[in-house]
């Protein structure tokens, strides 16, 4: 007698989101089942991995990831082209770290020039991220959203302290928006509702419930993402049906396990392999939790996760 696997049915669906323009545009989300449960329903779009670059050289990155980009990271345009042409990136995440008041405190005008130059140099979709300084991001992201008008970028991150200004700028210039809350499903839902009440299309929002690295609260991030996805699918909660972002690289490559040298901790094994594994493991867990968009750094970690997606899809 043939075995028939039991199947769950869900009343909700994740909104599909398309970013970029022309042939290089990509779409993620759109499924009506739990991650990779294609045997139960529709999973029309593959998760997307964006490669992170910065507007300034990544001086604070560990050597084992920094050296990969050393020949190109002095210039964000060269770096972006390298990711597109050599690493075959499907999307690029440009983080405007240099605008942070505690870094180089670059002006919105300087950020605009960087964004314009990068957009002119690549065809793949671009995610434009601030420095995570809520006050400075307000002025910077408004300026760069206008500079990137009609390129269908993702602008972020909008937080409780600045969402009105950033959401308005993204809406006026035809971009998608990242809504970030701090590891709490209720805060995430509240921010999505507040943004939609402004008139921003809820189907153009990407939810970032915040990320954490393996060994540093990953299980809590996983739980929050899982609860958001279950609310979207099983309860048909339209305020929770946005695709989820896992901003993996920035959290993984600052923990001890990815930065400690072999001389200090020889029992932990080869430092580079350790760091790559840490980023890949973190990203893989977030995919299973429900993330449809990842931002990552090390090419070998990205390749490992792409292979995982191939196998699960």
Is the per-residue pLDDT at 2 higher than 90?
A: no
Rounded distance between C-alpha atoms, residue 174 and residue 42, angstroms = 28
Q: pLDDT averaged over the chain?
A: 96
Is the per-residue pLDDT at 239 higher than 80?
A: yes
Rounded distance between C-alpha atoms, residue 109 and residue 302, angstroms = 32
Of the pLDDT bands very low, low, confident and very high (cuts 50, 70, 90), residue 3 is: confident
CB 123 within 8 A of CB 84: yes
pLDDT of residue 22: 95
Of the pLDDT bands very low, low, confident and very high (cuts 50, 70, 90), residue 304 is: very high
Structure tokens at 1: 């007698």
pLDDT of residue 55: 97
pLDDT of residue 230: 97
Sequence ranges of the domains in the chain: 45-312
Of the pLDDT bands very low, low, confident and very high (cuts 50, 70, 90), residue 6 is: confident
Distances, alpha carbon 126 to alpha carbons 64, 110, 142, 156, in Å: 25, 18, 16, 11
Q: Per residue in 174-203, pLDDT tens?
A: 999 999 999 899 999 999 999 999 999 999
Q: Per residue in 69-79, pLDDT tens?
A: 999 999 999 99
pLDDT of residue 263: 87
User: Strands, E, within the chain: which ranges?
Assistant: 17-19, 26-28, 48-54, 91-95, 126-129, 154-158, 176-180, 205-208, 244-247, 291-296
Instruction: Please give the angle made by the CA atoms of 131, 128 and 18, to the nearest 5 degrees.
Output: 145
Rounded distance between C-alpha atoms, residue 83 and residue 91, angstroms = 9
**How large is the average pLDDT for residues 79-99?**
98
Instruction: Please give the angle made by the CA atoms of 259, 263 and 267, to the nearest 5 degrees.
Output: 85
Of the pLDDT bands very low, low, confident and very high (cuts 50, 70, 90), residue 5 is: confident
Q: Is the pTM of this model over 0.85?
A: yes
**How large is the average pLDDT for residues 136-150?**
97
pLDDT > 70 fraction of the chain, expressed in percent and rounded: 100
**How large is the average pLDDT for residues 100-109?**
96
pLDDT of residue 284: 98
CB 25 within 8 A of CB 19: yes
Is the per-residue pLDDT at 1 higher than 80?
A: no
Structure tokens at 87: 């690493």
**How large is the average pLDDT for residues 155-173?**
97
Distances, alpha carbon 300 to alpha carbons 133, 259, 282, 296, in Å: 30, 16, 14, 10
pLDDT of residue 4: 82
Is the per-residue pLDDT at 277 higher than 90?
A: yes
Classified by CATH at the fold level, domain 45-312 comes out as TIM Barrel (3.20.20)
CB 155 within 8 A of CB 128: yes
Is the per-residue pLDDT at 313 higher than 90?
A: no
Backbone dihedral region for residue 288 (phi beyond 0: left; psi -120 to 50: alpha; all else: beta): alpha
């Amino acid at each position: 007698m043939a075995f028939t696997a039991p199947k769950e049915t869900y009343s909700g669906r994740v909104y599909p989101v398309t970013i970029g323009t022309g042939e290089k545009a990509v779409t993620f989300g759109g499924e009506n089942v739990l991650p990779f449960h294609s045997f139960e329903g529709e999973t029309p779009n593959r998760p997307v991995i964006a490669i992170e670059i910065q507007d300034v050289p990544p001086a604070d990155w560990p050597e084992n990831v920094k050296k990969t980009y050393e020949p190109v990271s002095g210039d964000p345009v060269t770096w972006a082209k390298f990711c597109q042409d050599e690493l075959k990136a499907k999307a690029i995440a440009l983080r405007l770290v240099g605008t942070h008041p505690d870094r180089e405190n670059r002006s919105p005008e300087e950020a605009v020039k960087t964004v314009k130059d990068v957009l002119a140099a690549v065809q793949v979709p671009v995610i434009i991220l601030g420095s995570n300084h809520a006050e400075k991001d307000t002025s910077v992201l408004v300026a760069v959203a206008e500079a990137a008008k009609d390129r269908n970028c993702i602008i972020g991150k909008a937080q409780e302290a600045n969402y009105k200004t950033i959401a308005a700028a993204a809406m006026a210039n035809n971009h998608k928006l990242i809504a970030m809350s701090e590891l709490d499903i209720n805060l995430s839902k509240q921010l999505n509702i507040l943004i939609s009440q402004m008139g921003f299309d809820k189907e153009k929002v990407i939810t970032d419930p915040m990320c954490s690295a393996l060994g540093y609260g990953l299980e809590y991030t996983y739980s929050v993402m899982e609860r958001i996805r279950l609310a979207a699918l099983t309860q048909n909660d339209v305020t929770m049906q946005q695709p989820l972002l896992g901003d993996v690289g920035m959290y993984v490559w600052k923990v001890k396990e990815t930065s400690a040298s072999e001389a200090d901790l020889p029992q932990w094994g080869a430092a580079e392999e350790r760091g790559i594994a840490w980023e890949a493991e973190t990203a893989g867990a977030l995919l299973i939790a429900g993330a449809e968009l990842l931002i990552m750094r090390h090419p070998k970690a990205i390749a490992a996760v792409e292979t995982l997606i191939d196998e699960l899809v």
